[in-house]
Amino acid sequence: MCKLVHRFAQRLDAHARRVADEVGMTAGQVVALRELSEPITARELAHRMACEASNATFLIDRLEGQGLVERRPHPTDRRAKQIVLTPEGERCRAGVLQRLDADSPLTALAPAQQESLRDLLRALLGESV
């Protein structure tokens, strides 16, 4: 079973790299954009991406240099900054998400199978269905 999960994860990673190549970004930038569905701290982004905070900061710096994100004061923690998409970042993220969905390895499954897989993954992750 673990071997199958690993192979599927490799296919998802390869798909993210292809999308990144199409939009002229790194796979890390694409994943960061995918995870920026709301304002979050760099630490939270690193957690979501399963990487070190310094790697997330590097990606945020690149996205900020491209005008896709900006750092804003955190509303409740004066020591932290939130990473927020700019209007251009919102447009870019929407395009990236559309491309990630378009030729995803998951399209091999029927819609009902995709929903079942989603529910199973939520159960494994302890999230409500």
Cβ atoms 48, 35 nearer than 8 A? yes
Q: What is the pLDDT of residue 79?
A: 92
**DSSP β-ladder status, 69-73 and 81-85:** antiparallel
> Which of 112, 101, 121, 37 has its CA nearest to residue 129?
121
Average pLDDT over all residues of the chain = 93
pLDDT the model gives residue 121: 87
Output the pTM of the full model.
Answer: 0.86
Total tally of structural domains belonging to the chain: 1
Torsion of the alpha carbons at 77, 64, 32 and 94, rounded to the nearest 10: 110
Which is nearest to 33 in space by CA: 81, 95, 125?
95
Q: Give me the residues paired with residue 85 across strands.
A: 69
Classify 71 as helix, strand or coil.
strand
Residue range of the domain that includes 27: 2-125
Q: Read off the pLDDT band of 129 (50, 70, 90).
A: low
Kindly state the average pLDDT of the residues 50-57: 94
CATH number, position 84: 1.10.10.10
Average pLDDT over residues 63-85: 95
Averaged over 76-95, what is the pLDDT?
96
To the nearest 10°, report the CA torsion of 115, 118, 120, 124.
Answer: -170
